[in-house]
Structure 1
Amino acid sequence: MLDSVDLTKKIDDKKEYEKRLKKQQLILLGLQRALMDEKIGCILVFEGWDAAGKGGAIKRTTQNIDPRGFEVHSTAAPTLEQKQYHYLQRFWNRMPKYGKLGIFDRSWYGRVLVERVEGFADESEWRRAYGEINDFERILTGENFIVLKFWFHISKEEQLNRFNDRQNDPMKSWKLTEEDWRNREKWDLYKEAVDEMIQETDKENAPWHIIEGEDKRHARVKTLEIINRTILTEMEKRNIDVKHYFKK
């Protein structure tokens, strides 16, 4: 699956990028107001390779919308307290209110990615998780939530370039950890896990979108375009007219 992704897509012209980015940000601002008024929740899941551009895309997604209407959750390893519960419990508690955006920088998919590859979950547990996650997301979309999932994809060579850039830049070196290097050594195992994850959990109600991340400009614009197009489609399904949310 990932082998077929075209990583050559790019936006070369900076002015074109800025114009397209601003346009999509303004559309999202209008759609955010529509979500608030109609009490429709929206959940955005950002997954991807280390240094693939998730953080930059989240920043551009939220840059010009109402900060009262969204919350970003950065997911780390579960605490000792969280390990006493089902792995989805800590995410249930972070679901946004109706009308809000909940943005997850890594998510419950850790169960079938890092926990699978690193052996924190045995095979029976991570295989069972596919059905649990599908049920979880089906409940959300059945309760007036929109669920969108993104995988940010780059090549192994591009990741190495970005790791080296971070390592050599004192303003960015904090982003690079020993864990990032260890994960890179298991690239093929993670790639197998990603392919299976998408195959098992790409559903009509909660689809995966693969973002070609070699060019950060392309990745950021495409992410916003997908978010806006999906929200507009969901509004149409509900017979909600959103034209008045946009200034002419």
Structure 2
Amino acid sequence: MLEDLDLSRHLAKDDYKRHLKALQIDLIRLQQSVMREGLRAMVALEGMDAAGKGGAIRRMAHSMDPRAYRVYRVGPPERQEKARHHLYRFWTKVPLPGEMAVFDRSWYGRVLVERVEGLEEPAVWERGYREINDFERTLADSGVVLVKCWLHIDPDEQLRRFNRRLADPLKAWKMSEDDWRNRENWDAYMAAVEDMFAQTYSEWAPWTVIPANDKRYARIRVLQAVSDGLRRRAERDGLECPDPEPVRIE
């Protein structure tokens, strides 16, 4: 899936502002209509370091009601979490009816970082595919909307973003030794990502793979994916749904 991705996709600044405003309005209308009817959503954003996950989340959250919105930045599990099943800490974050949970990295750490970094034996992370599929199927069957996005950048663009961060005192804190180590394992991560798509793409929890070399384009595609996911589930459940905003990109 990654080899065929057109990373040159670009959105002009004026078009970006127009699309962003329309989609933010669309999301708040969906939140105030179908989610008030009890719809729940979990949004998982994955991608290499500096792919733009945080920026997309900020634009998504900008106009939504914060009382029904939670963002989780997922890092290494705490000691008490390591003593339990790896999905335990995500079960505890399943949203209540009418709420949305957004994950900056997610339960896919088992088949990505834990695989590439050798933190788990192959038998363990290979079993993770089945466990994740069962987890997502259970959530979907209970009415949770699942939106999964992979934001993809190339190594050259990642390096440019790393250098810009290091040159900016307000952003240098984002960089760590882990970022450089992950970069050295780029090819191993790409192999793990392709396996992840092949093993965990499903009708109830499909992947949306987004070209993210242009941050503006990627942000719009993420908001669009969330809007589409909520609208599809609402229509399937027979809920009254506001008409979508007319502006779209592919």
Is this a same-fold pair by TM over 0.5? Answer: yes
Q: Is residue 146–residue 229 contact of structure 2 (8 Å, CA) maintained in 1?
A: no
Q: Does 1:153 align with 2:160?
A: no
Name segments (4+ residues, structure 1) moved above 4 Å: none
Q: Secondary structure at the match of 2:120?
A: coil
Q: What amino acid is aligned across from residue 180 of structure 1 in structure 2?
A: D
Q: What amino acid is aligned across from residue 35 of structure 2 in structure 1?
A: M
2:248 is matched with which residue? none
Question: How far did residue 69 of structure 1 move?
Answer: 1.0
> What is the rounded CA distance, in whole Å, between the counterparts of 1:125 and 1:52 in structure 2?
27
> What is the rounded CA distance, in whole Å, between the counterparts of 2:167 and 2:11 in structure 1?
26
CA shift digits 1:188-233 (9 cap, x unpaired): 0001000100110011100110111011110111111121122111
> What is the rounded CA distance, in whole Å, between the counterparts of 1:96 and 1:234 in structure 2?
16
Aligned length: 245
> What is the rounded CA distance, in whole Å, between the counterparts of 1:239 and 1:97 in structure 2?
20
CA shift digits 1:21-70 (9 cap, x unpaired): 00000000010112332111100001001000000001001111100111
2:112 is matched with which residue? 113
1:205 is matched with which residue? 204
Bigger shift: residues 101-110 or 29-38: 29-38
RMSD: 1.3
2:3 is matched with which residue? 3
Question: How far did residue 241 of structure 1 move?
Answer: 1.6
1:172 is matched with which residue? 171
Q: In the TM superposition, what are the counterparts of 1:10-89 in structure 2 within 5 Å?
A: 10-12=10-12, 14-89=13-88
Q: Is residue 34–residue 245 contact of structure 1 (8 Å, CA) maintained in 2?
A: no
Q: Is residue 44–residue 104 contact of structure 2 (8 Å, CA) maintained in 1?
A: yes
Q: What amino acid is aligned across from residue 111 of structure 2 in structure 1?
A: V
Q: What amino acid is aligned across from residue 79 of structure 1 in structure 2?
A: E
Q: Does 1:186 align with 2:192?
A: no
Q: What amino acid is aligned across from residue 2 of structure 1 in structure 2?
A: L
Q: Is residue 35–residue 100 contact of structure 1 (8 Å, CA) maintained in 2?
A: no
Q: Secondary structure at the match of 2:170?
A: coil
> What is the rounded CA distance, in whole Å, between the counterparts of 1:181 and 1:29 in structure 2?
38
Q: Does 1:223 align with 2:229?
A: no
